[in-house]
């Protein structure tokens, strides 16, 4: 399993910050705990190779890409299998651009290397639309061996639905991108599922601090661009597990804390999400049988600058969850003892205007199972009078020996969570607050 920000601009994009050079992007991605990024500058790929070199030196992945603007002013992300394919598509896009850039009104279009040295400037008007129709752009992407993804489909400006009002029948898209402005589960259900396509997400970062705002989780054999394409297409046992906003969604906080538990030696993790609209209460409990902590370590675990993890610079799981709970009129409690595991309980005022969105719980379950198929997980989500549970014991019994991380295991778990969540949205589950109408 890898976590990628699948939409990042460099200083080549005229709207990108000058400090979005290849080396800075890779450093920020690593600091965020990402396994890589996709470089998707507007109508060009000049900085793809340099970002690739920086990523390889840092031990992470840079997927080659271009964000193409069609004549209808629809944005389409092209994800390519390698840098050669990106270069070939770049040349064809350049021939379809309308004219030369004017740096004053539109911004500089900086070509930089991995050492932050300026090599030159792209002279084309990258901020403009190409002469390609949407259908032509999709065809050209496929001709280059890439995937055509409807960029930020939930946005009115430059999104396919916002620009056209519909998705043209027969358009050979490979996936739909949900922007960081919309919850991943909601965006997937609204824009991707009706088309029978995978949903992905990315930050659309134009500044270093925006990298990692939205992350896509992929189940694949090895971290390379071609494998990313196979996962998005859902072939060869690869798949998109889901996505979310790590700094915002409660589902991502749950995932982070559960991952911490496994890294602390837990072989069993219990997660309970309880929503009681009548009592104005949301409670999240994550309990494990890991090695536990003494009182001093438990206190330090709430410090955002303390971590025992080597995957990122600071430990944000518990501090972020505590901040989210307190911002919504609630609290967070941690009970732990050496050799006795850890129990984290967070409470929120359910209807509080500052309560963080729940996010996509399906993603949380699937990433946990795909990452740690041998760990026992008991998952329960209760809303109003409805409740469902997913247990790895039950899933393993139904699989008859197949791994939870196998295609059959992931499909079974996905179906179980979707069925359960659909039941909670029915009459027995009560009304559901729109998570992003705030």
Beta-sheet pairing, 36-42 with 61-69: parallel
Residue 298 pLDDT: 83
Task: Assess whether 231 and 340 both reside in one domain.
Answer: no
pLDDT tens column, 98-132? 999 999 999 999 999 999 999 999 999 999 999 99
- Asked if residue 222 belongs to a domain, the reply is yes
Task: Assess whether 229 and 269 both reside in one domain.
Answer: no
Binned at pLDDT 50, 70 and 90, residue 300 comes out as: confident
Average pLDDT over residues 211-224: 96
- CATH code for the domain in which residue 208 is found: 3.20.20.140
- Asked if residue 36 belongs to a domain, the reply is yes
Residue 433 pLDDT: 46
- Asked if residue 42 belongs to a domain, the reply is yes
Q: Is the pLDDT of residue 317 over 80?
A: no
Q: Is the pLDDT of residue 313 over 80?
A: no
Task: Assess whether 256 and 188 both reside in one domain.
Answer: no
Q: Give residue 31's domain range.
A: 2-243
Task: Assess whether 278 and 185 both reside in one domain.
Answer: no
Question: Alpha carbon 278 to chain centroid distance?
Answer: 32
Give the span between the Cα atoms of 246 and 280, in whole angstroms: 25
Task: Assess whether 335 and 208 both reside in one domain.
Answer: no
Give the span between the Cα atoms of 388 and 269, in whole angstroms: 17
Give the span between the Cα atoms of 437 and 67, in whole angstroms: 28
From the CB of residue 331, how many other CB atoms can be counted at a distance below 10 Å?
12
Across the chain, mean pLDDT equals 93
| Residue whose pair of structure tokens reads 């996936």 in the numeric block | 175
- Asked if residue 127 belongs to a domain, the reply is yes
Binned at pLDDT 50, 70 and 90, residue 314 comes out as: very low
Distances (CA, A) of 144 to 92, 233, 381: 10, 16, 44
- The per-residue DSSP string of 219-268 comes to E-SSSSHHHHHHHHHT-TT-EEEEEE-TTT-HHHHHHHHHHHHHHTT-SE
Task: Assess whether 206 and 264 both reside in one domain.
Answer: no
Residue 67, phi then psi, degrees to nearest 5? -100, 110
Binned at pLDDT 50, 70 and 90, residue 426 comes out as: low
> Nearest-CA neighbor of 361 among 272, 282, 287, 433?
272
Average pLDDT over residues 357-363: 97
Task: Assess whether 198 and 90 both reside in one domain.
Answer: yes
Greater pLDDT, 302 or 236: 236
- Asked if residue 438 belongs to a domain, the reply is no
Task: Assess whether 108 and 210 both reside in one domain.
Answer: yes
Task: Assess whether 119 and 138 both reside in one domain.
Answer: yes
Contact call for residues 360 and 200 (beta carbons, < 8 A): no
- Asked if residue 17 belongs to a domain, the reply is yes
Binned at pLDDT 50, 70 and 90, residue 438 comes out as: very low
- Asked if residue 268 belongs to a domain, the reply is yes
Q: Which of 243, 276, 297 is the last residue of a domain?
A: 243
Give the span between the Cα atoms of 59 and 36, in whole angstroms: 9
- CATH code for the domain in which residue 366 is found: 3.30.565
Q: Is the pLDDT of residue 434 over 80?
A: no
From the CB of residue 122, how many other CB atoms can be counted at a distance below 10 Å?
25
Q: Is the pLDDT of residue 340 over 90?
A: yes
Task: Assess whether 223 and 254 both reside in one domain.
Answer: no
pLDDT tens column, 156-181? 999 999 999 999 999 999 999 999 99
pLDDT tens column, 38-65? 999 999 999 999 999 999 999 999 999 9
| DSSP β-bridge partners for residue 76 | 68, 150
- Asked if residue 173 belongs to a domain, the reply is yes
Distances (CA, A) of 394 to 259, 261, 400, 419: 21, 22, 10, 15
Q: Which of 220, 243, 266 is the last residue of a domain?
A: 243
Task: Assess whether 186 and 317 both reside in one domain.
Answer: no
Q: Which of 205, 220, 243 is the last residue of a domain?
A: 243
- The per-residue DSSP string of 1-39 comes to -EEEEEEE--TTSTTS-TT--HHHHHHHHHHTT-SEEEE
pLDDT tens column, 367-413? 999 999 999 999 999 998 899 999 999 999 999 999 999 999 999 99
pTM: 0.94
Average pLDDT over residues 328-337: 96
How many independent structural domains does the chain possess? 2
Binned at pLDDT 50, 70 and 90, residue 220 comes out as: very high
Task: Assess whether 126 and 188 both reside in one domain.
Answer: yes
Determine what percent of the chain is predicted with pLDDT higher than 70: 94
Residue 365, phi then psi, degrees to nearest 5? -65, -45
pLDDT tens column, 241-274? 999 999 899 999 999 999 999 999 999 999 999 9
């Amino acid at each position: 399993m890898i976590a990628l920000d699948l939409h990042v601009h460099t200083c080549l994009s005229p709207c990108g910050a000058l400090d979005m050079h290849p080396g800075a992007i890779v450093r920020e991605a690593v600091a965020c705990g990402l396994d890589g990024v996709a470089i998707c500058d507007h109508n060009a790929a000049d900085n793809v190779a340099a970002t690739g070199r920086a990523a390889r030196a840092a031990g992470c992945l840079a997927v080659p890409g271009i964000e193409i603007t069609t004549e209808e002013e629809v944005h389409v992300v092209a994800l390519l299998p390698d840098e050669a394919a990106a270069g070939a598509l770049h040349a064809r896009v350049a021939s379809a651009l309308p004219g030369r850039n004017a740096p004053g009104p539109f911004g500089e279009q900086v070509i930089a290397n991995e050492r932050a040295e300026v090599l030159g400037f792209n002279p084309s008007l990258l901020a403009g639309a190409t002469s390609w129709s949407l259908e032509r752009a999709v065809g050209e992407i496929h001709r280059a061996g890439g995937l055509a993804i409807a960029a930020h489909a939930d946005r009115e400006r430059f999104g396919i639905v916002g620009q056209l009002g519909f998705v043209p029948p027969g358009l050979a898209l490979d996936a739909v991108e949900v922007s960081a402005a919309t919850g991943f589960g909601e965006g997937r259900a609204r824009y991707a599922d009706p088309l029978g396509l995978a949903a992905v997400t990315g930050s659309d970062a134009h500044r270093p601090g925006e990298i990692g705002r939205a992350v896509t989780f992929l189940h694949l054999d090895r971290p390379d661009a071609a494998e990313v394409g196979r996962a998005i297409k859902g072939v060869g046992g690869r798949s998109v597990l889901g996505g979310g906003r790590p700094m915002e969604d409660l589902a991502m906080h749950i995932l982070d804390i559960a991952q911490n538990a496994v890294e602390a030696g837990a072989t069993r993790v219990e997660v309970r999400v309880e929503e009681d609209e009548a009592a104005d209460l949301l409670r999240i409990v994550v309990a494990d049988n890991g090695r536990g902590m003494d009182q001093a370590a438990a206190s330090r675990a709430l410090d955002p600058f303390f971590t025992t993890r080597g995957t990122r610079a600071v430990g944000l799981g518990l501090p972020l969850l505590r901040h989210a709970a307190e911002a919504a009129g609630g609290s967070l409690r941690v009970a732990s003892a050496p050799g006795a595991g850890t129990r984290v309980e967070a409470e929120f005022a359910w209807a509080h205007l500052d309560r963080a969105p729940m996010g996509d719980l399906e993603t949380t379950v699937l990433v946990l199972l795909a990452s740690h198929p041998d760990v026992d997980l008991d998952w329960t989500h209760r809303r109003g009078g409805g409740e469902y549970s997913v247990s790895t014991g039950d899933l393993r019994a139904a699989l008859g020996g197949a791994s939870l991380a196998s295609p059959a295991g992931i499909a079974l778990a996905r179906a179980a969570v979707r069925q359960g969540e659909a039941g909670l949205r029915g009459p027995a589950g009560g009304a559901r607050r729109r998570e992003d109408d705030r």
